[in-house]
Structure 1
């Protein structure tokens, strides 16, 4: 594993990135600014001030609610009711130890694959909507994970199968299929929002139907491009795709043959049906929406770069182009770039290469490549790993070291794939006699603290990591190919475990290079 000093430095830089997109202060200031700007149009005098409702959805929901409450308290604005749907069981510290009004309910949804808790959370949002008084102000707080955490089927999907729980199972299968297919988040959400109860602007239309005069939406972006219709599948934003464009997305990824029959029928790619209708962009509800971007990946990347300068690293190179595409390919590419950079540094000189974004993992493509290469064992292992992981498989307890097998659950995320691919590239460079490969240490981690269905944010690796994994019985090349990267990184003691961070602005990569 990397030296203690390098690991400590990169861990500190990751924390700086997280704090650069911390939701509390940013949400507090954004809500306060919005309220002051719109106060004149909000009834606020006795005896009937406008009721105020908070709807916070996503991994950063608790901290965003705490920020909103702090901003409203400064303005002496009471909260009538609300709901928080988070990715974990939220406690007082998640709300910055601020008292939560009794009228604000807290739920935990399922992520990344929606399940019964997500359906329960969606039903609770419906209950809140039915209880809302007309003439109210809705503050909608969105962050990464929203799509899964409160995912529930649209009415036509439930009607098609005759049961809400069965329809929820179709939603879960759709999410699993899209994750396995390696689609980018904007592609996944373009498909999912069509069949989600609150996707594609349906939350905004529901709020307007309950008489909300203002729908103030504050978002922490977990998508490249920060598109409001993609963040959380656009609960308060119209769907920008026509039916023809939507069907083209499905066909571009061969979804007609992959989806269950009932889902394919509802989506309009089987039988004589058409895709589910979505609220038109001209719907009067969207005129009540005011959208504010609270934090984004660029904030985390810039905060990391500033922290590196404070740590005395004189040369910090920030990649302008977001990380997109296959995670393994990018890991290999960035490792090679870092080795090339090391050759240009003088003895004792240090530099840092920084990037942010969200790569993808194409596990089904990996299976196809393994079959084409004649490696049926690797293909079988990867195929078996596609089975959904239960909660008991996400605890992060180390398993007995062994070569990858079909008995092991799929465990590893895009940053862990990036890290293993990079470490293998560094090892190969060192094996060719390039001493500069030993002068590279790489951090690849998510800002939310959880990379894929694992207990780790990502990893910190160098050229020695593959050998350390092999010493404990792993085959990192096979783990990379079959979706088991967590096992190699855990064996090498290279994982970065931070716990939930309270924010989510995609991923960051920081590569420390020494001369």
Structure 2
């Protein structure tokens, strides 16, 4: 909110890099050109950097197309980054190599399960343990359409070690889950951390959380089941939504008729997919309210149109930008008798 002395801010595209991403990255490269051994680069990194910090090794339009192909395929974030780090002049440790012989102090907010440094923003300052053969196998797995130039990039091996980088992770989904546990406890709930490594299709996660609530309904306990991580969405339609909205909508049928039960799922950055919502909410009345409006959750999910369906039943959650990005959190609540 406002300018910072000595700091230039660039707004760029996400999840697909755009011209602003390329311009911002070039400005960083210009700033760090011809550094000396006594120089130190303070590199602040968070989720979203794969799109925001980018200098393509192939035609930019093709990079954008490959990114869209991967997003539509249902590939998870590590698969996505295994491909795109090889198509970039600043990922897979290449930014740290650019800065050499200067030292790089990397401070990281992790948005990837288990905090793998090579995958957070595709590892601009981290060695890359993945291999060219793994990248090529993903091309075959998802039937990606690539140019010969892109295939050539994937065939090149990346840096397996770096000697000018020191890194510390200062935030991750684990901390997000701990904070949620504390907040739930302060509200009188008994928190149960199911996982901080949630990694499956969003709608299936919603069905699973609804099933957990149904199993514990009637116990008279005030429970909060927490699941942190990052689900995926397989695109089968042309609608509007995000993975947290799909998770909430996926829970609606399982929650139907349950009293004092709800599933909430939000992105920690305040943005869910290409929408202005942070996530979604469903409770025991959501299915009935959708049905009254002629909306069938299964059909809506097939169209990937969760945003408009949840908006029709006041099931969207809006927070605005939060200033951080450490994955998503889903909370399944039972208020007891």
Q: TM-score range by the shorter chain?
A: over 0.9
Distance 1:288 1:249 in 2: 31
Q: Does 2:262 correspond to 1:441?
A: yes
Alpha-carbon offset, residue 245 of structure 1: 2.8
Q: Does 2:242 correspond to 1:356?
A: no
Larger Rg, first or second structure (1 or 2) = 1
Match among 418, 432, 457 for residue 247 of structure 2: 418
Conserved? CA contact 2:271–2:278, under 8 Å = yes
Distance 1:245 1:475 in 2: 39
Q: Does 2:332 correspond to 1:457?
A: no
RMSD (Å) for aligned C-alpha atoms: 1.8
Match among 141, 150, 158 for residue 278 of structure 1: 158
Alpha-carbon offset, residue 440 of structure 1: 1.1
Higher-helix-fraction structure: 1
Q: Does 2:290 correspond to 1:478?
A: no
Report Cα offsets for 1:312-356 as digits up to 9, x if no partner: 22x21111352111111111111011111113x22xx31111110
Q: Aligned pairs, how many?
A: 336
Gaps (5+ residues) in structure 1? Answer: 1-90, 93-98, 158-166, 269-274, 368-381, 386-409, 431-436
Conserved? CA contact 1:329–1:421, under 8 Å = yes
Distance 2:224 2:79 in 1: 32
Distance 2:225 2:50 in 1: 32
Which residue number in structure 1 is paired with residue 4 of structure 2? 100
Q: How does 1:245-260 map to 2 (within 5 A)?
A: 245-251=134-140, 253-255=141-143, 258-260=144-146
Distance 2:64 2:214 in 1: 42
Q: Does 2:204 correspond to 1:301?
A: no
Gaps (5+ residues) in structure 2? Answer: none
Distance 2:28 2:62 in 1: 21
Distance 1:260 1:228 in 2: 27
Which residue number in structure 2 is paired with residue 35 of structure 1? none
What SS class does the counterpart of residue 183 from structure 1 fall into?
coil
Q: How does 1:86-485 map to 2 (within 5 A)?
A: 91-92=1-2, 100-102=4-6, 104-130=7-33, 132=35, 135-154=38-57, 157=58, 167-208=59-100, 211-212=101-102, 214-251=103-140, 253-255=141-143, 258-262=144-148, 264-267=150-153, 275-281=155-161, 286-313=162-189, 315-320=190-195, 322-343=197-218, 345-346=219-220, 349-363=221-235, 367=236, 382=237, 385=238, 410-427=239-256, 430=257, 437-485=258-306
What SS class does the counterpart of residue 105 from structure 1 fall into?
coil
Distance 1:180 1:327 in 2: 14
Distance 2:149 2:198 in 1: 32
Distance 1:330 1:320 in 2: 12
Give the 3 Å change call, closer, same or farther, for CA 421–109 of structure 1 in structure 2. same
Task: Could you list the structure 1 runs, at least 4 aligned residues long, displaced by more than 4 angstroms after superposition.
Answer: 131-134
Report Cα offsets for 1:194-221 as digits up to 9, x if no partner: 011210000000000xx41x21111100
Taking structure 1 as the reference length, the TM-score comes to: 0.63
Distance 1:129 1:467 in 2: 57
Alpha-carbon offset, residue 101 of structure 1: 2.9
